[in-house]
Amino acid sequence: MKHLFFIIAVAGMMVACSPNTANNTAEQNSANIEQTAPANHAEYASPNQAAQQEVFDYINSKSVFFISTMDGDQPRVRPFGALHIFEGKLYIITGHKKRVSKQLAENPKVEICAQGGADWVRVAATMVEDERVEAKKAVLDAHSNLRSMYNENDDNIAVYYFTNATATFSSFSGDERTLNF
């Protein structure tokens, strides 16, 4: 059953992040919070801290979440394991040398998915890279196991935060709940 759910979740993420449906989904969701992150990253914070914290707590309780990006017209899904809240923003970490970073530079829209038993959350968002050393250090301090791969002072580390995020909590029982942050 887990494998079937994973296949269904990946297929759903592929559709959600495809160039034609990603824009339509955002336009159709009138509850979506459209907010542009300022050039000064320290000034931006999620407009709904409680929703962001709930999403963080749920995903952080799982060992892995999956992130879907676009590579041209081909969806790409891969596992991630590190999330962190810093200055009111939810961050992920990767490396500039990785394809995911190049994909985010071309199209910053993503969808992530985490599952626990019979329930899961999907988060559609636009990612913004934060090049500040203090943001990189905060994420690395929270995930010290990544220090063997990254250093906040090198050119490889990349940290991104979520903007215009819509989280949908779902379950096999059919219950669904949407939060914007």
Residue 16 near residue 111 (C-beta atoms within 8 A): yes
pLDDT of residue 36: 61
CB atoms within 10 A of CB 37: 19
Per domain, the residue ranges of the chain are 2-29+47-180
CA 26 to chain centre: 15
Q: Dihedral through CA 20, CA 71, CA 41, CA 161, nearest 10? A: 90
pLDDT at 35: 55
Predicted local confidence at residue 38, as pLDDT: 63
pLDDT of residue 33: 44
What is the predicted pLDDT for the residue at 17? 42
How far apart are alpha carbons 30 and 21 in whole angstroms? 15
pLDDT tens, N- to C-terminus, the chain (181 residues)? 444 344 344 444 444 444 443 333 333 333 444 556 567 899 999 999 999 999 999 999 999 999 999 999 999 999 999 999 999 999 999 999 999 999 999 999 999 999 999 999 999 999 999 999 999 999 999 999 999 999 999 999 999 999 999 999 999 999 999 999 9
Tokens 């709940």 map to which residue? 177
- The confidence score (pLDDT) of residue 161 equals 98
Q: What is the pLDDT of residue 23?
A: 39
Give the CA distances from residue 60 to residues 20, 81, 91, 106, in Å, rounded to whole numbers and listed in that order: 30, 8, 12, 27
pLDDT at 25: 39
CATH number of this structure's domain 2-29+47-180, picked from the four choices 2.30.110.10, 3.60.40.10, 3.40.50.300, 3.40.50.1010? 2.30.110.10
